[in-house]
Structure 1
């Protein structure tokens, strides 16, 4: 849970202490997932326009640069800025240095807080965790195989990263990928699995690995931290799938 944010109490709405700006490397899967959460949360008028989602099509440090540019133009107040980026084939130092850059920015105490939701190797690992706890370092192709298997078994269709399969809205008004993941998988299990894998890597290699060399923590993701943060604003019907 991010600093300064109080969790929802029974019978009370989560206080709207922040605006959330989410910038992702990908332009399809990440925006589809978090636009789904945005729609679900902002059905409550108290949270209208609280979440901004932008797929940048950029990598690692450039995702942070896009976020900083938005901040300089939009001048938000009390805003959590989340950057979602993948290790992929990019140099290790490019991936690792984003955390150091964010630490430096957060020392400014400007009311803007930067957070990282990194995935090693890619965002699909976060999606895989909705179905199983996967610990093998077999590359992103393995994630796609697992998602295909689960989608075919549970939804009778293949997993696809095409815009039409992810960003198109369903009859209920949610991006298809988001709705498919909630139907077939479990965000609650994904959060638990992500936490278990990080705990496992920390015990194996030490906390410094996760703090300073996330490029060597594979497979792993911290996307769950953002999901857990936003889930506190969901209504009772949707929240049960996450927390």
Structure 2
């Protein structure tokens, strides 16, 4: 992912390895891949897997399996673009991928494209995104919504971003 590669480059974190495996894989497949990579390496301190809900079945199970096996999970419900939108807006209503992309296009002032270098555009707004993502988590907790697939909108990408920043310190 260009976003995390840009953070890694900016923070100068050569010890952080980012292994993208592409799109279209089920959440369970992504967790299994992360498990195999983490098990194969003796020098890894921690592993993360990043995915969004999309239309994949087994979303809750994948998150629970990852966590049960010491894999940190940064997930977004409905899509990763929610994380980008939260840099500008607190969004309580679940929007599909297309609507999030439209909103993002308006917010950044140019057509949003999946593989664009958005980090340079939004990085100064990161504290706002973290605040908004945490606010969403609190909202779902207060409403007693425990099922990850029902926590829409939500994202825990902020946990990975905070962890990367903590490594730098």
TM-score, with normalisation over the residues of structure 1? 0.64
Deviation for aligned residue 1:72: 3.6
Which residue of 2 is the match for residue 217 of structure 1? Answer: 151
Q: Are residue 98 (structure 1) and residue 55 (structure 2) matched?
A: no
Q: Is the 8 A contact 1:41 1:233 kept in 2?
A: no
Q: Is the 8 A contact 1:40 1:234 kept in 2?
A: no
**Which residue of the other structure, out of 131, 145, 150, is the alignment partner of 2:107?**
150
Q: Find the residue that maps to 1:119 and give its secondary structure.
A: strand
Structure number with larger C-alpha Rg: 1
Which residue of 2 is the match for residue 54 of structure 1? Answer: 19
Q: What is the number of residues matched between the two proteins?
A: 167
Gaps of 5+ in 2: none
1:10-159 mapped onto 2 (5 Å cutoff): 31-42=1-12, 47=13, 49-57=14-22, 58-73=25-40, 75-91=41-57, 94-106=58-70, 114-152=71-109, 157-159=110-112
Which residue of 2 is the match for residue 199 of structure 1? Answer: 138
Deviation for aligned residue 1:41: 1.8
Which residue of 2 is the match for residue 14 of structure 1? Answer: none
Per-residue CA deviations over 1:149-181 (Å, capped at 9, x if unaligned) read 0121xxxx21111x4xx2xxxxxxxxx221122
Which residue of 2 is the match for residue 181 of structure 1? Answer: 122
Q: Is the 8 A contact 1:128 1:146 kept in 2?
A: yes
Gaps of 5+ in 1: 1-30, 107-113, 167-175, 236-243
Q: Is the 8 A contact 2:38 2:44 kept in 1?
A: no
Per-residue CA deviations over 1:134-155 (Å, capped at 9, x if unaligned) read 1112322221111100121xxx
Q: Is the 8 A contact 1:82 1:117 kept in 2?
A: yes
Per-residue CA deviations over 1:4-52 (Å, capped at 9, x if unaligned) read xxxxxxxxxxxxxxxxxxxxxxxxxxx111001111122xxxx4x3111
Deviation for aligned residue 1:100: 2.3
Which residue of 1 is the match for residue 164 of structure 2? Answer: 230
Q: Is the 8 A contact 2:78 2:95 kept in 1?
A: no
- Distance in 2 of aligned mates of 1:68 and 1:138: 31
Q: Find the residue that maps to 1:197 and give its secondary structure.
A: helix
Deviation for aligned residue 1:69: 2.3
- Distance in 1 of aligned mates of 2:160 and 2:55: 24
Instruction: Calculate the aligned-residue CA RMSD, in Å.
Output: 1.7
Deviation for aligned residue 1:86: 1.0
